[in-house]
Structure 1
Amino acid sequence: MQQVKQVNQVKQPCLLFHGFTGGPYEVEPLARHLRERGQLCKVPELPWNGDSNNQLKTSRWEDWISAAEEQAEKMTREYGEFDMVGFSMGGLLAAYLSVRYPIRRLILLNTAVIYVSPGRMLEVIRDEWKYERKISLDKAKATPLRATWQFTRLVRKLKPELSQVSIPTLIAQSEKDQVIHPQSARYIYSKVKGQRELHWHPRSNHLICHSDDAAVLFRQVSAFLDKEYMDDSQNQYEP
């Protein structure tokens, strides 16, 4: 069991990233939970969101990294140290930022490392759009395949960055994820350095913050953010 102690502390601001072709709605339930406990949260709509097909047609994976860094630079200027949540593709970008900016705690939700397949990913994303956003089928089909290719390139580029992560990290993975292979979580756990936690959510699909396990996840996140980690980096927790 990892050695931690509970402390009363001023809660850090938190930056939350949504996933590829998604939007703030993907992580907004977690942001609401964190705000209710007194934590300031920023949930920007990022260039890889599902409402900007024209932008997706022309942007490259390098542009997405630049956009992520702009958000981290803004948080650093305004608040100094902050916490970071990344969902799906946003998780990889969050991990990348964590080795370059003053991020205190890193939370990775269904992070895109090993995905089922680009075609299956796109199919599920379309279904989730129609359900969550009630958009038309025509709009869902308008997702440019070029953007999906850029997504796969981003994954290949940022995957090695995981071994550079050394801050306390919480990894959460849905066991019924239709997009990201659950083995991704074990891969991330094996690569990141320092203290980390891995939590499995058996009733959740890809949209973990909207799932039946969401309340459990939110409690785990709260507990993780409130812990003060000891210096013993060999102590990790994997249920």
Structure 2
Amino acid sequence: MFDPRKLLDDLLGSQIPGTGSTVRDKGGQAMQMAKDNPLAAGALAAVLLGTGAGRQVTGTAVKLGGLAVIGGLAYKAYQNYKNGKAPAETAAAGSPELLPPPADTSFHPSQAPQGEDEFTLTLVRAMISAAKADGHIDDDERQKIAGKLSLAGIGSDAEKFLMSELETPLDLDTLVAGAQTDAQKLELYTASRLTIDPDTRAERGYLDLLAGRLGLPDALVDHVEATVSAAKVPAPEVPESGVPASGKATAGLRW
């Protein structure tokens, strides 16, 4: 069985697969890995979402890990919402300091009633569902992804899980049911919004539908949008080689 938390970290581009180092910490090593095996220098999200330019989470995320990033951003958005702040204030403040959610709140992974691993898998499924929202992952694309995953070093069990999720039709009922608390509902939406920038009608429509099914107030969704947007920075264009024009390897997330 694979480790759900590691898979979530890989999807968020926290580390170079196969090493214990971040892309930023080991730029030279990443460059060599890109030459030897382009996929090893990229995060799994680059495989699922493509390698176009977009936005990616700032450097603090690589130290926290996926669960802490998602929970921390959801908690910050909730606090801003409860304190009556305007989303525009969050956007104007710039990139926030990414912190894990407090241990005594329902946003902390240890508070998950269904267990941390089970909820982590729900977040992974949410990210994959968001990745499929614009319909670009067709049969041909899934075959390409399958070939790339075999080179990504994630293990056969994790590979089978991802391919199964990619081939499974969208089931919002099951996905939404995987969030058992109000905090988890907000985290599920946050994970989905982290995965994509809604720059198509299909992606925007999916996020709106998801927010509605989760029962999230519009004002709270606006705070998630502002918090996640502030936490992202422009990502460089990454060609198929996995090495951007500057010559420095990156995770290449299409965020």
Superposed pair shares fold, TM > 0.5: no
Greater percentage in strand: 1
Greater percentage in helix: 2
- TM category (shorter chain) comes to 0.3 to 0.5
Higher relative contact order by CA 8 Å / sep ≥ 6: 1 or 2? Answer: 2
TM-score by length of 2: 0.31
